[in-house]
Amino acid sequence: MTLILREADVRAVLTMSDTMRVLDAAFRRQAAGEARNQPRRRVVLPEGRGVLHVLSAYVPGMPGHPEADGPGLVGLKDYSAIAGRVRFLVQLFAAEDGRLLALMEADLLGQMRTGAASGVATRYMARPDARVVGLIGAGGQAYTQALAMCEARPVEKFLVYARSIERTRTFCDALAAKTGVTCSPVEAAEQAVREADVVVTATTAHDPVILGAWLQPGQHLNVMGSNWGHRREVDGEAVRRSDVVAVDARDQAEIEAGDLLLAAQSGDFAMGRAVELSEIVAGNVAGRPHAGAITLFKSLGIGLEDVAVAGLVYALARERGLGQEIELLP
């Protein structure tokens, strides 16, 4: 039987700590060459009327436990961005026999896994004494990024900049209530960057919202808003000044990491410098070579993350009796 899981079911079971745990294990499998990830593929409709995006992967282990022995999961996330709406769906199959285990709505799942990837990167790349987070953006993705920062470090303050001061204040009130951490709106992105130990960009910007001239020694950056080759949130100088530049998948980065590709075009970066986050998690590459290093994680969002987290949601939903069972593709 196939389990149908709605957004409410995902929200009922998924926590940031569990999501980061599962991604840590999945990245270790990736570093060992035991997982499989396909870069995002897109179908762009005529006249730019919309886009269908597809990400697929294989994750070894058991649902919710990539570190365990087991045949693993194979699946995909697809999402359509058409007529002003975005709709997300994960299809999860048993790698053992191909059974369709679940269909799940995946808007929150995507936000959580993206935040968790930055959280894992921060855990391995930020200074141990990092306490202040500068956050550029005040939407749903920014919120889960902030939750992940609290899991990765004992955050004492958020400095938040977004274009709408009203939206920023509402965001800060909600985040402070959720985390108990002081959350202050600031009037300029530069202030949020200069005063932070960890900086997160979570915007829909086409052009840089962070300049390399603002960066301070010892900072860590999580850059996650863009996954198109012609868009970026940080300028070439920010990339050039970063001692370590990590991505969640190198082959996907060579297609859609505009922050890095545009820096390479201007001579500020060589794509060969990019390392996969999985190599840092596995201990094969140092995430922070010294205390004063500037480090950068360019998050793209990959199918490996979606399938690993979908396996966690599936396992927890089964345990708790959530979702609706239907007979599909027996």
- In the predicted model, residues of the chain with pLDDT beneath 70 are none
Do residues 247 and 300 touch, judged by C-beta distance below 8 A? Answer: yes
Q: Which residue has the tokens 């790349």?
A: 125
- Structure tokens given for 262: 């545009």
| Domains of the chain, CATH where assigned | 2-110+304-326 (3.30.1780.10), 121-301 (3.40.50.720)
Nearest alpha carbon to residue 221 among 243, 238, 252, 200: 200
Convert the pLDDT of each residue in 103-157 to its tens digit: 999 999 999 999 999 999 999 999 999 999 999 999 999 999 999 999 999 999 9
Give the start-end residues of each E strand in the chain.
2-5, 36-44, 50-59, 73-82, 85-94, 100-105, 132-136, 157-161, 182-185, 198-201, 220-223, 244-247, 275-276, 295-298, 324-326
0.85 surpassed by pTM: yes
Convert the pLDDT of each residue in 42-69 to its tens digit: 999 999 899 999 999 999 999 999 999 9
The pLDDT score that the predictor gives to residue 330 is 82
Per the document, the length of the chain is 330
Query: What proportion of the chain, given as a percentage, has pLDDT over 90?
Result: 99
Nearest alpha carbon to residue 165 among 184, 144, 190: 184
